[in-house]
Amino acid sequence: MSSPVLIKVAPEERRSEPRIIYCDRVNVTLFNSDGLPTYVENVECIEVSKHGIRLSLSVRIPTGNLIVVSASKPDLKASNAAFQVAWCELRDGAYQIGGRLISPTDNWKVLTA
């Protein structure tokens, strides 16, 4: 992976923190309401921020669902970081989702230069 690219947030955007284009793969697990894993995939991570993530997946994951992301990369450390799916849209033949971090920030470290 090349160095991450920081995206500056335009004043008209309602984002509370900058995003980083990431473009690497992470492991995602989806859980059902009983807390049992129902889906596991190694997916493309498109963007990250201190408290969020955008992923590209092969399946639709409804908003409100819980996903867990794991990765050990030079610029990203995710130790079973839990996210709540905020949105899911079909884009360019894949489902993209946005997730809000709901686990402690110790489980999710975005490292930038």
99: domain CATH number? 2.40.10.220
| Structural domain that includes position 97 | 5-110
pLDDT at 113 over 70: no
Tokens of 111: 């490292």
| List of E strands, the chain | 5-7, 19-31, 37-49, 52-57, 66-73, 76-91, 94-101, 108-110
Q: pTM (2 decimals)?
A: 0.83
More confident residue, 20 or 15: 20
Give how many domains the chain has, as a whole number.
1
User: pLDDT tens digits for 49-90?
Assistant: 889 999 999 999 999 999 999 988 877 888 899 999 999 999
